[in-house]
Each structure stands twice: as C-alpha cells, then as structure tokens.
Chains A and B, each alone.
Chain A
Amino acid sequence: MTGLLEPKAIGTDLRRRDGALKVTGAARYAYEAPVDNAAYAHPVQATIGRGRVTSVDTAAAEALDGVIAVLTHENAERLASTEDAELAVLQSGDVAFRGQVIALVVAETSETARHAADLVTVHYDEQEHDCVLDPDGELYKPDKVNPAFETDTAVGDVAGAMASADVTVEQTYTTAMYHNNPLEPHATTALWQPAGDGGDLTLWDSTQGVHPARSTVAEVFGLAEDQVRVVCPYVGGGFGSKGTPHAHVILAAAAARAVPGRPVKLALTRPQMFALAGYRTPTIQRMQLAANRDGVLSAIAIDVVEQTSRIKEFAEQTGVPTRTMYRAPNRRTTHRLAALDVPVPSWMRAPGECPGMFGPEVAMDELAEALGIDPVELRIRNEPEVDPDTGHPFSSRNLVACLREGAARFGWDERDPRPGVRLRDGWLIGTGVASSVYPVHQMPQSTATIRCEDGRYVVEIGAADLGTGTWTTLAQIAADALAVPVADVQVCIGDTAYPMASVAGGSSGMITWGSAVVEAAHAFREKFGDDPADGDEAEGSVSENPMAERYAMYAFGAQFAEAHVNADTGEIRVPRLLGVFAAGRIVNPRTARSQFQGGMTMGLSMALHETSVMDPRFGHVVNHDLAEYHVATNADVADLQAHWLDEHDDKVNPMGVKGIGEIGIVGTAAAVANAVHHATGVRVRDLPITLDKLLPHLP
C-alpha cells in the first residue's frame, strides 16, 4: 500500500454537520417519517416463559373503535423465510421466551393500538422455563463465536504451566446481563405500495445499516431487493442493538402489507426493548494466569460460559481478546453456551472485547499484586513481539506507549501499591489501570459515488450515522481524497437509494466507507481530472486489503481510574477516568473525543450501575425502564479525559484509521474494579461493583 492520504480536512475538529438540525429538532427520526394518514402498531407480548399459545381472543380488541386489524399467528401472512427464528414473527403459536410477540394490533392512533393490545386475551399451554445461566447446567460448544472466530484455541500445556509456575492466579469473574438502551427507542415506519412490479416496501427504520436491513427484510418477505427501500438519515443511538433488524422491523413491514397503501408506525416502548431488541449475555469467565517471579507469563487461559436463546444462537466472542493481548507460550480460550428460554442476545458495543477484557485485566491486577510488581510494568513485561494468536506481526501496536503516556498524565508514578491504606475525609482512595484493545475490521463490501454538481462534489453512500459523526467525517475524507476544501463536499448517507454500504458495526464504518470514498475519488480524478463538468460521476468500492493476511491489525489503549469508597457506607465515586488510545489516525478530534469519552462513560456505567435483573420465576427483566436500569448520569462522571497518540499505520487503509467507536468501553470496568480494590483491599469479581458488595469487607 502506498502512503496515506495527505491530511488537510482530516484531523480538523469540524463541528457536526447535522448538529444544528438535531438540537433544533429538525432532524427527522424513523418514527417521524413524513407520511400522511399513518396507522399505528403495538405488539402483544407473551406472558409466559415457554410454551404454546392455545387460543387468542381478539374480539374485544377488534370491537374497539379505531382498531384496523389484529394480526396473530393464525391470520398473519406466511413469511418466505423463517430461517431466522427471531424474525419469524407470528408464524406459530410457540413461545420461546417471555415478552415474545404473539399478536400485533394496528389502529388509527398509537393510544388505541396500545389499549387494544391490552384487550387481546391469550390462553397458553405453559411449560416450565429455564432462564438462569448456570455454569454447572447443560452447556454446549458452538461451532463458531461471533462473527466467525474459532470457538476454542489451545497452544502448549496450560495445566503443566500452572503446576510449575512461581505464582498463579485462578479466579472466576462475571459480567452482568446488559441492555444497549439507546435513547431513541427502536422504531420503524413502513409503507407497502402494492402497485408496480409486485409492490414496493419502504421502511423508515432506525438502523445501523440501511442495506443490511434491506437484505434481511427482502429475504424474510421473499421480495427482490429493489422492491425494498430503507431510509435512515439519523439514529438516536444504537450501540449495536440496531445493527441487525429485530422482530419489530418485520412486524412493522407485515402490518404495512396488511394495510396496503397506508403507512404504519411502530415504536417499541422502553420495557419492550428489554425483550425484543437484543442485549449482551451475562458472562462467567474462569481465568488462569501463570508467571515466574519476574512477572513473565508462562500461561494465560480463559474459559467462558454464557447464554443464548434456545431459538437462535448468538455466541459472544468473550475469550477472543485473550488470544492477542499478552505473550505466553501456553494458552487456551474456550466458549460454552447455555441455550435458555430467554430473549435473543445480540451485539452490544464491543461484543467480545468489552466483557472479555474484564476478567483478564482484573486477573492481571491480581497477579501484579501477588508478585509485588506495578500493574503497568507487568503488562509491559508481557508485551508480545508478534500476535500470539496468528504469529503475524502487528501493523502497529502501541499498547506500551499508551500505558506509559497514561501513567505520566495520570500521575501513576507516585502511586503507593498497598491496597486499603489511603483514608481521606472518610473516603478510601485508590487507583487502577487496565488495557484496551479493539480489532481493525474492514467489511468486504461498500461502494460510493462522487458526482460534480454546481462545482461541488456530492458523495453518495448508504452509510449510517448513529451519532458517531459520519455526516461530517466522510466529508473530511472525501475532501482530502479529492484534494478540495471540505466545504465543497456534500455527503448523502442513510438511504438504500445510494450505493451499497456495510453496517455501522465493529467500528468498521470509517475504515470501510472511507476506503470506498477514497476509491471513488481516485476514480473520479482519473476519469475527469481536476476540472470536471457538472454531472460527471464516478464510483469506487472498498477492496480487500492484502495486508490483512500478513499483519495483525488492532487499536490499543490504556485506561486509568481513581476510585473513592466511603468507609462507612461503601458508596463508590470515580472522580477521575483517563484513557490514552492508539487507534491510527483520528479523522475528527471533536467527534472522536465524543466516541472515546462515550465509550468510557458506558464502561464506567458497566462497572458501577448497569445490570439487567432477570426474574427466574417469570423470565423477564424486572428493571426494564431507565428509572431502574441505571446508566451513569452526569453527576456520576467527573474528570473524564480521552487522549490519543499520533499513530501512523500505512497498512490498515489509505486513511490510516483503525476505528474508534468501541475501544473506549473496553477495559474501563476492569480499571475501575482495580481502583476499587486498591482503595479498599476488597476484590469484587462480579459486576456491577455495588456498595453492598463492598460494605461487609471494608477495612
């Protein structure tokens, strides 16, 4: 690969182009799609954890003034593909988890739809359900883990290394069930126009990928892709939960097809999102570390147990980061799943890395303590020369630089390693560190077109901006690729009317779409030179990066936390969080800082607050609203700093970017847990860290 784009617009902190529209309320989200005479759909959810619907009485609902239709498994259209059981809505009376949709009301108003949904009477043949993740229960080995990693890996002899090592750590860590909870609930406006060649379906859907959503919907309904248009200029957050269409998208489309010519709006309520929009599986991580007295690892192993839904497998790749982080001749990672009567788990910000860097990074802290070695130094001593997983060199790896830079900025050198000895005004004080990692993902397909219009350059690509800054950052990339001022570039995204773009997932957006835009710009200049005429247009697509076969490509980071724990009540405060990241070139420092800080805040929230409490008797999440499912508030975040190193990597892509949407959440919870231990001497291995877990053990 030749040199990187010369950065002019790239690297500047342009304000968000969509900012004014959003703060003035002018940006239209999926539910606000500009349609006339909309009908409204509201799902009816199963009130049992497992079994079969024996009868649905819709008479009272249908009798209600303003009800247009009540769809059930008895009258809903037969879908062309039911391969994806999560999306096979209203196809049978089977109930696989509490909250599954068993009927759908379509009415003149959302209030009527909701009222009528309540009037639907359902009888069940109820069976015993099991929704408790138990490491000693029935487990199986999935064929692959998300998206296509080996389930297990093993090199050398971990047991032998554990038996002969100077020092070992063998502990089990758990992370909770988490829900993505974007501020904008999942919403779809759907319109089926039966005219034309077999009809056209338009979906205004809150999605992280209009084209992937279109492919899925087209397949489920047996439509050609050109019969389906998906529009989504703005997303009020997704965090992975809008990365793949969930049941409500199919329901909205089915409802629209039941009332041809009439748009149908469906927005999930917050409680419904806890059953229908995906979530992160709870994880149980058994860690083994073996080291000599100098802290050099001879073995590292993680054995993961997690859950999936009985009707659809999602195997979070929690053990994967352990394959790459540290050097050790003996290594093992395994994943086992329990298939339970629970909602379908899915992507949530940094699937795999986020939970999978909790156990290992706390275990490293435990090892450092056992050895009396500084935890920053311990990580540096186990820095690999090549990727321990593949044996490939890293295209760039600056974990050590992040640790050193972070330590300097945080004032780590003055740290007294003893836990539980600093008491100030009734508060125990401590600091902790953890590493972050996230792979460089490039999706195989994405295409952009660039057209000259009135002397400006219009870039079209069906990319998504879920708050990440795509509207702005793609324009910066296009400007540098075309060698024009960014003001001369207009970007159009979020519509399948534009060329095909991959999902905004895996922090792959800038890498993939940006590469397509650069290709399009090169094609444009090659074809039309520097003085194009109005209407000149060229197209470019991302192509496979041959370097990906020869190099391991990852972003790294180091996060430092200060924790204060009240000696009398166990209350926990985190007055300082500081992250340093090495994630390639930063396209826009303003939007990048938002991504890093947002990720770190979400990691803090995971450390202290978030947990979806499953009631085993009924099979539903009890705290299914934002009053009870706590995410960190402004008052929980104090001094929050994100820094980055200037990293030059000419192997990843022409922009030199690595993707930054997810790495911020990776490692944060471990840094906080390690800081809490340093403050109190209490090692909490089960997230979240709450005051009642600390109080009985405080010094």
Chain B
Amino acid sequence: MDFFRPDSLAEALAAKAEHADAVPIAGGTDVMVELNFDHRRPAALLDLGRIVELHEHGRQDGKVRIGAAVPYARIIDELGRELPGLAMAARTVGSPQIRNRGSVGGNLGAASPAGDSHPALLAANAEVEIASIRGTRMVPVKDFYTGVKRNVLAPDELITAVHIAPATGAQQFSKVGTRNAMVIAVCAFGLALHPDQKRVGTGLGSAAPTPRPATKAEEFIATELDWESPKPLADSVLRRFGALVAEAASPIDDVRGSAAYRRHALAVLARRTLGWAWSEHLGGGRRACA
C-alpha cells in the first residue's frame, strides 16, 4: 500500500488525479476502522493531515466555511454560536477522542446514512466544496449523497470544505441511540428555522439509504407557520409534521432497532425539535441541547 503525504492542497489534488484509487484519510476514525477490520484494502492512502487550509474555518461570502478536516471538537468549541445545529450534532459523535479526530469532511466522504453531521447539514442547506485539478465546484448537500455510503465525488475529487450560512433562527438536533454515548444512531433528526426565507429545513439520519430531507414535511410546515406574528403551534400541527417526517423515511430493521421503531421515533423527534425551536423563536429562550 502506498502512502502519500502532500504538503499542500495543490499537491493533494495532483496526487488524487494521478492515483484515483487513493483513499483520503484525515482523522482516520472511519478509514482506520475499515482497514483494521479488513473491510477495504486500498492501493494507497492520501493523508490530508499536513494541508493547513483543510484544518481552518472562516467566513466566505457571508457563510461559514469549514475546512474538511476541522475536527468536531473545534466545531463545538468555536462555531456553536453561528452553527448551533451542527454543534449539537457534533456533541453526539463518538467519544472525546473521536471528536478530536473526526471531521465533517470525513462524515461526508464516508456518506454513511448514520453519520451524525448529515441531518444538521441538510437542515441548514449546507453546500459541499469539492476540488480537483479540473477546478472547484459547489454541491448542495441534499444532492451530495447518491446511495448507501456513496456520494457524487468523481475519482479525482476531494472534499475541501462545507459552506453553511450562519443560523438566522433556532436550530435543533436530536438522536436516539441504544446507549448515551459512543453510539451509532438508531435514528436522528436535524431541524433549522430559516425566518429570513420563511421556511424550515430538515434532515433525517439512519432512516433511509442516504441522509435526506423531509421535503413534504418542510412544505407543510412552511404553510402553517406564521412568521410575521408567531403564535404557539397547535399539537395537531406538530403531530402532522412528525407524521410527514416519518413518511419521508424508508428505514430498515437491523441490530440497532426496527424499521417500525425508527418511523415512530422520527415522528417524536420531529415534533419535539420543532416544538423546541418554535418556542425559542417565540422568545422562550434557547435550549442548550436536545
């Protein structure tokens, strides 16, 4: 197995163009597990650890740009105010050690339906910055996932960053697991209020072959919410929203939970998070964490 260790993004893209079968590795929290269990044996590894710009975040065109290798721990510590939903999701990732290593770029690269950051990225309408020696392109995150552990990356491309608009309204993330930490989600749900666009963003995790938004639920709630003179939501609206979110899922039975349980729990998470977020919007104060 070859091991490439570029010092710059340009070198990394050149290496990826030349060695399309090289697997990028940043924190290693997914890739090393797969190697260790012999689930894959790539011809080469492309270590992104030395590329400074992948480990930085900053503002670009009014959005927060998070380098692909910025670890979850820094998102929690440094971006919780601008991106509360993503920070909440990041808090539920693995253990402190994993949060020190794992990154949103890695979550996107692996594209597991159970990845914790996806629902928050979907709810916030994140865009994925993808680069190759051919240039850079931006892909809305909802179009990024193409199948179980598959994404739109071409063989010569690398994920370089995600771009997310700072929150303009309340955001929530909620996850059900079979224990309280270090747990792969049974199901997860992300929600973001976008008062500037008079809409609500959603994201489902561990509930379908890919992370996906609950489009019908978003359309329904957009017509129900009164952004001009906000009023408390009727329970029937919350329940309808929950039901539509559950309908958006196509879950499976597995060791972690049944499909029926996942649908039920998603409906609960959806109405809970919407209730919390809307209360915050009404001025009820912000909940620290789901």
Contact = CB atoms under 8 A, between A and B. Distances in A.
Contact of B176 (A569, A628, A632): A569
A270 to B, nearest CB: 9
B112 to A, nearest CB: 12
Contact of A635 (B37, B179, B264): B179
Interface string B240-273: 0000000000000001011001001100110010
B147 to A, nearest CB: 22
Interface string A611-633: 00100000000110101101011
Contacts of A568: 268, 272
B255 A690 contact: no
Contact of B179 (A118, A623, A632, A695): A632
A573 B264 CA distance: 19
A690 B177 CA distance: 10
B225 interface: no
A422 interface: no
Interface in A542-570: 568-570
Given A118-B38, A569-B265, A633 B257 contact: no
Nearest to A622: B255
Contact of A633 (B38, B176, B181, B261): B181
B162 interface: no
B38 A609 contact: no
A315 B256 CA distance: 30
A569 B272 CA distance: 11
A691 interface: yes
A609 B183 CA distance: 11
B207 interface: no
Contact of A627 (B184, B264, B268): B184
A609 B179 contact: yes
B38 A628 contact: no
A75 interface: no
B255 A691 contact: no
Contacts of A630: 178-179, 183
Interface in B12-43: 33, 37-38
Interface in B153-192: 176, 178-184
Contacts of A695: 261, 264
A130 interface: no
On chain B, which size bracket covers the interface? 20 to 34
A627 B177 CA distance: 12
Nearest to A571: B176
Contacts of B182: 627, 633
A609 B265 contact: no
Contacts of B38: 118
A692 interface: yes
A690 B179 CA distance: 10
Q: DSSP class of A's interface residues: helix, strand, loop or mixed? A: loop
A633 B261 CA distance: 23
A608 interface: yes
B27 to A, nearest CB: 16
Contacts of A627: 33, 182, 184
Given A633-B180, A635-B181, A692 B257 contact: yes
B183 A691 contact: no
A692 B260 CA distance: 9
A623 B261 CA distance: 20
Contacts of B265: 569
A18 interface: no
Interface in A676-699: 690-692, 695
A613 B258 CA distance: 15
A633 B268 contact: no
A319 B179 CA distance: 30
Nearest to B36: A269
A634 B258 CA distance: 26
Given A569-B176, A623-B255, A692 B261 contact: yes
B183 A692 contact: no
B75 to A, nearest CB: 20
Contacts of A692: 257-258, 261
Contacts of B181: 633-636
B29 to A, nearest CB: 11
Nearest to A271: B37
Interface string A110-140: 0000000010000000000000000000000
Interface in A632-665: 632-636
A662 B42 CA distance: 46
A398 to B, nearest CB: 34
A633 B183 CA distance: 10
A635 B38 CA distance: 30
A635 B176 contact: no
A678 B284 CA distance: 34
Interface string B128-169: 000000000000000000000000000000000000000000
Contact of A690 (B178, B183, B268, B272): B178
A625 B34 CA distance: 13
A625 B261 CA distance: 24
Given A118-B38, A623-B255, A628-B255, A636 B180 contact: yes
B180 A609 contact: no
Nearest to B180: A635
Contacts of A608: 179
Contacts of B37: 271, 625
A630 B268 CA distance: 24
B255 A633 contact: no
A632 B180 CA distance: 8
Nearest to B261: A692
A271 B33 CA distance: 13
A573 B181 CA distance: 12
A526 B174 CA distance: 70
A608 B183 CA distance: 14
Nearest to A627: B184
Nearest to A114: B38
Contacts of A632: 179
Contacts of B33: 627
B42 to A, nearest CB: 14
A691 B262 CA distance: 11
Interface string B90-101: 000001000000
A571 B175 CA distance: 11
Given A633-B180, A635-B181, A613 B261 contact: no
A628 B38 CA distance: 17
Interface string A46-73: 0000000000000000000000000000
A118 B37 CA distance: 12
A633 B257 CA distance: 19
Interface of B: 33, 37-38, 95, 176, 178-184, 255, 257-258, 261, 264-265, 268-269, 272
- 9 cross-chain pairs, A with B, having the tightest CB-CB distances, nearest first: A635-B180, A635-B181, A633-B181, A568-B268, A692-B261, A636-B180, A630-B179, A569-B268, A569-B265
27 contacts: A118-B38, A568-B268, A569-B176, A569-B264, A569-B268, A570-B261, A573-B180, A608-B179, A609-B178, A622-B255, A623-B255, A627-B33, A627-B184, A630-B178, A633-B95, A633-B179, A633-B181, A633-B183, A634-B181, A635-B179, A636-B180, A690-B178, A691-B178, A691-B257, A692-B258, A692-B261, A695-B261
Given A571-B176, A636-B179, 6 more contacts: A568-B268, A569-B264, A608-B179, A633-B179, A635-B179, A691-B178
Interface of A: 118, 271, 568-571, 573, 608-609, 613, 622-623, 625, 627-628, 630, 632-636, 690-692, 695
